[in-house]
Structure 1
Amino acid sequence: MLISTFVVAVCLLSYGSAKKRDNLNRLESHIGILEQKFKDLEKQVAKQNNELRDQKDLLAEKSEEIKLLKELLQKKESFIDTASQNIGALLNKSPDKRFLLDDSVAFFARLDETELTGVALNQTIVFDKIVLNAGNAFNAQTGQFTAPVDGFYLLSVSVASDLGHNHQLQVALMRNNDIIARAHAHGDSGHLDQGGVTIVTGLAAGDKIRVKSTYQDVTDFYGNGLTTFSGFQIMFK
């Protein structure tokens, strides 16, 4: 009887130890699963932090670009105001022989797309947005204005360089095969630059006016309305 009791006690102890080991193994396995989930969560948080930093950097770049665009637009508005004042002064100065703007011959074209890339040397600039083409003397497909009649014309060109490092460009205002004016822009270290030229010249009927790239083999132009080409006929009375 004593021996049977001892055997039963040993069996109970062995069963208890086995159960504890089984519980311990299950606990260790559960801890391992929790640790892996924690590591996965840490990776997700790190990825989201990286994406957030990238978005903040992009937002900062866009903010700087918007600031530069506003500065260029302000300069252009100032130039237009000055030109308007000069025209008004000329009208008031010569009441007996003043010039009028003939609205039957006028055009205004601009580059609305963000960039015009891969422009070759001596290539004519073709503008993707035709704002005004009174008299239909401007050809949107070729980028050329053809004078419909003999007379004096005001012609204006503005160009904006791309955002590339140390990016320069130069264009020539062409009358047929002759250069009659030039404009230059020089962007540097991610900053835009805009250059322009406005002239008054005599044209014969059939003369073709265009803007061509003249600085280097291949260049890029910045758009967003900052690269433009316009003109109109001046009528004397």
Structure 2
Amino acid sequence: MVASGTICFVVVLLFTQTEAENEILNRITTLEKECSKLNSNVRDLQSEVEGMKAESKWGKEQLQHLTDAMFTKEGNLRTRRQGYEEIEVAFFATIRTSQPHLGQGQIVIFDHVVTNIDSSNSVGGYSPNTGTFTAPVDGLYVFSATLVSAYDQSNHATVFKNNQRLTVMYFHGNAVHDYDKTSQTLVLDLKQADTISVRESENDKSYYPDDHCLFSGFLLRQHYSGVIVG
């Protein structure tokens, strides 16, 4: 009976020990899984921190760019965008000298220049030698033309963009045996180096001189090809 009880006790002891070992192993396995999850979370956090550092650096750089664009080195607020100051383009010219016997397709010369501004300092602007306006920058432009016919003449004139006819201007002075006047306003999207001119459509025609005929234009809004900060 003693031997049998001892065996039972040993068996129970071994079973208890095995159960304890299994529980320890299970806990170790659980801890390893938790450690693995923690390591993964730590890596994710490290990645987020690196991303936040990069965003913070970018934000600081952008803030510095904005600060440089808005303020001078002395800390004064800039009144204009440095490096991207507004371009002024405008012209106004009249026909002062008579131009008799104009031929078909000939450019009308507005020889008396009152205003001719091009702050871009390019080869653009209006030329009184050719009667042609050349766009110095990309942008939205406004043009106006007023023509007075010679006495007792009917006539047609055209506004050209480069070599493309845009509009037709008509006079009918011979209907009333007097002078006739016509005018137009155009709003055009131009690229740099595009040209605008007024051309005669018929043969052997002329216009009333002494500043009665006008041609003018100006840059309404410049178009920028890149991103401007400031």
Runs of 4+ in structure 1 deviating by more than 6 angstroms, as ranges, are: none
Residue 107 (structure 1) aligned with residue 99 (structure 2): no
Question: TM-score of the superposition, structure 1-length normalised?
Answer: 0.52
Aligned letter for 1:143?
G
Residue 29 of structure 2 corresponds to: none
Aligned letter for 1:140?
P
Residue 208 of structure 1 corresponds to: 195
Per residue, is there more helix in 1 or in 2? 1
Structure 1 residues 183-203: Cα deviation after superposition (integer angstroms, max 9, x where no partner):
112213541110011011100
Correspondent of 1:145 among 130, 133, 141:
133
Post-superposition offset of 1:236: 7.1
Bigger radius of gyration among the two = 2
Residue 126 (structure 1) aligned with residue 113 (structure 2): no
Alignment of 1:42-191 (within 5 A): 104-113=88-97, 115-135=98-118, 137-164=125-152, 167-188=153-174, 189-191=176-178
Separation in structure 2 between the aligned mates of residue 197 and residue 103 of structure 1, nearest angstrom: 25
Secondary structure of 1:153's counterpart equals strand
Secondary structure of 1:118's counterpart equals coil
Aligned letter for 1:119?
L
Per residue, is there more strand in 1 or in 2? 1
Separation in structure 1 between the aligned mates of residue 107 and residue 156 of structure 2, nearest angstrom: 12
User: Structure 1: any 5+ residue segments left out of the alignment?
Assistant: 1-101
**What is the root-mean-square deviation in Å for CA atoms of aligned residues?**
1.9
Separation in structure 2 between the aligned mates of residue 194 and residue 158 of structure 1, nearest angstrom: 7
Q: How many residues align?
A: 132
Aligned letter for 1:200?
V
User: Structure 2: any 5+ residue segments left out of the alignment?
Assistant: 1-85, 119-123, 224-230
Asked whether the 8 Å contact 1:157–1:183 carries over to 2, the reply is: no
Secondary structure of 1:149's counterpart equals coil
Separation in structure 1 between the aligned mates of residue 203 and residue 99 of structure 2, nearest angstrom: 15
Residue 56 of structure 1 corresponds to: none
Aligned letter for 2:127?
N
Question: TM-score of the superposition, structure 2-length normalised?
Answer: 0.54
Secondary structure of 2:88's counterpart equals strand
Asked whether the 8 Å contact 2:135–2:190 carries over to 1, the reply is: yes
Separation in structure 2 between the aligned mates of residue 202 and residue 149 of structure 1, nearest angstrom: 11
Separation in structure 2 between the aligned mates of residue 222 and residue 174 of structure 1, nearest angstrom: 21
User: What is the aligned-residue identity percentage?
Assistant: 29
Asked whether the 8 Å contact 1:110–1:129 carries over to 2, the reply is: yes
Separation in structure 1 between the aligned mates of residue 156 and residue 115 of structure 2, nearest angstrom: 25
Post-superposition offset of 1:116: 2.1
Residue 235 (structure 1) aligned with residue 221 (structure 2): yes
Asked whether the 8 Å contact 2:111–2:131 carries over to 1, the reply is: no
Post-superposition offset of 1:224: 2.2
Asked whether the 8 Å contact 1:154–1:231 carries over to 2, the reply is: yes
